[in-house]
Structure 1
Amino acid sequence: MEKKSTRTEKILSYLQEEYPDADTRLNFANTFELLVAVVLSAQSNDDQVNKATPQLFKMYGTPDKMAKASQEELEELIRGVGLYRNKARHLLEMASVLAEDYQGEVPANFEDLLKLPGVGRKSANVIMTVGFDKPGLGVDTHVQRVAYRLGLVSDHNPAHTEAALKEQIAPAQWGKAHHLLIAHGRQVCKARKPNCGICILNDICEQNMD
């Protein structure tokens, strides 16, 4: 039986050939803007976030400025994003913590990121790899779905999936693996109607749905 990490390497190499430009779709100019965009992207899509952030960043582009906004102002600016009321509250609290405890800088430490309001493991992993070029592998719905269908993980628990993938993939490749699995989930291995007929992983997928 093929060693799981070897099979995972093979899968990622195929995906790299198919999606050589796989990367984040979020628009940002610095780590604070990335942090805000990632928080907004939870249970939303990148296009919705990218529509909301230009004006948001123009008005409240630093933790100090955002901490002084009202929740109502932030809600109005991000209204097109899912769960905007909760997210506005999280942004306000997060900006205050950054301004008061981190001198307005986004911490480059995973555990410190998890202490920020609105930041869970997926978000912290994304910020580590995209914002700081450090190892991180966030598990969103695409990563979870594709990893499970390919037999890389055995259940639908994101924490288990994160741990299992990190065991199988070299740390230097965590960030790239995250983007490759997302790209495949968006374009081919979709939730409702996966297009298995054109999938480059058709022969090695454990859940071919054709």
Structure 2
Amino acid sequence: MAKQLPYPICYEAFARFQAAEAEPKGELHHTNAYTLVVAVALSAQATDAGVNKATAKLFEIADTPEKMLALGEEGVIEHIKTIGLFRNKAKNVIKLSQMLVDDYGSQVPSSRAALVSLPGVGRKTANVVLNMWWGHPAQAVDTHIFRVGNRSGLAPGKDVDAVERAIEDNVPAEFQQHAHHWLILHGRYTCVARKPKCQACLIRDLCLYEEKNL
């Protein structure tokens, strides 16, 4: 497992991220808490761009649980069939919509335990919703964050749960709210899986990655 960067170095790294983009935003399009939950659930094993393309018209006609239920599973499939695992995802969207109507008064809950009880919603999805909609400093660890955390030494861990804990333990409190967005965007556009763009990296002099392309 990668080594952990010392606290002062972590602080400097996130200070640089903040200086470059003070208010990073998630790239999944949504109009309310409900469409955010659906979009994030659909994004598993799919790109944000692909999900945005599929949901553009879907959310125009179904931006509440009731409207989604009226559309029905086959109707959802027609909109999201370009996304991987679309049949199972459509089934989960209908199930979670029904559960929101039956158990939560059609409102998206603000607790992780309630969110993960929804069909198709795991811990990562719940953390994205808690962070982006409810403003909680929750850390949603995806493949980008896992890679960046371990490569750089900012948040090393053997699995996504360990990396999540490392972010919570090692990232200074003032950067917790936006930490996962900075790391996702860094991994998506700079610290890419193959041939990372080290020459364009904001934290190249701080990073512990032994195979830096400098």
TM normalised by structure 1 equals: 0.91
Deviates more, 1:177-186 or 1:63-72: 63-72
- DSSP-derived class of the 1:116 partner: coil
- DSSP-derived class of the 2:208 partner: coil
Structure 2 CA distance for partners of 1:153 and 1:176, relative to 1, 3 Å? closer
Instruction: Name the residue aligned to 2:64.
Output: 62
Instruction: Name the residue aligned to 1:179.
Output: 181
Say if 2:66 is the partner of 1:53.
no
Task: Tell me the number of residue pairs that the alignment of Structure 1 and Structure 2 aligns.
Answer: 209
Instruction: Name the residue aligned to 1:101.
Output: 103
Deviation at 1:160, TM superposition (A): 0.9
Seq. identity, %: 37
Deviation at 1:80, TM superposition (A): 1.8
Instruction: Name the residue aligned to 1:201.
Output: 203
Does the 8 A contact of 2:10 with 2:170 survive in 1? yes
Deviation at 1:135, TM superposition (A): 2.1
Give the alignment partner of residue 162 of structure 2, picking from 139, 160, 163. Answer: 160
Deviation at 1:188, TM superposition (A): 1.0
Structure 1 gap ranges (5+): none
- DSSP-derived class of the 1:27 partner: coil
Structure 1 distance, partners of 2:117, 2:174, is 24
Deviation per CA, 1:36-59, whole angstroms, max 9, x where unpaired? 111111211111111111221122
Does the 8 A contact of 2:14 with 2:175 survive in 1? no
- DSSP-derived class of the 2:71 partner: coil
Structure 2 CA distance for partners of 1:3 and 1:84, relative to 1, 3 Å? closer
Instruction: Name the residue aligned to 2:25.
Output: 23
Deviates more, 1:168-177 or 1:7-16: 168-177
- DSSP-derived class of the 1:132 partner: coil
Give the alignment partner of residue 121 of structure 1, picking from 107, 120, 123. Answer: 123
Instruction: Name the residue aligned to 1:139.
Output: 141
Say if 2:15 is the partner of 1:9.
no
- DSSP-derived class of the 1:204 partner: coil
Deviation at 1:176, TM superposition (A): 0.5
Structure 2 distance, partners of 1:89, 1:175, is 32
Deviation at 1:18, TM superposition (A): 2.9
Deviation per CA, 1:144-197, whole angstroms, max 9, x where unpaired? 110110113443411111111111135553330111111111221001110112
Structure 2 CA distance for partners of 1:169 and 1:155, relative to 1, 3 Å? closer
User: Could you tell me which amino acid in structure 1 is paired with residue 28 of structure 2?
Assistant: L
Does the 8 A contact of 1:142 with 1:181 survive in 2? yes
Deviates more, 1:71-80 or 1:123-132: 71-80
Give the alignment partner of residue 75 of structure 1, picking from 77, 84, 97. Answer: 77
Let me know the Cα RMSD of the aligned residues: 1.8
- DSSP-derived class of the 1:202 partner: coil
Structure 2 CA distance for partners of 1:176 and 1:153, relative to 1, 3 Å? closer
Structure 2 distance, partners of 1:19, 1:187, is 14
Structure 2 distance, partners of 1:171, 1:120, is 25
Structure 2 CA distance for partners of 1:159 and 1:191, relative to 1, 3 Å? same
Structure 1 distance, partners of 2:8, 2:123, is 26
Structure 2 distance, partners of 1:6, 1:117, is 41
Structure 2 gap ranges (5+): none
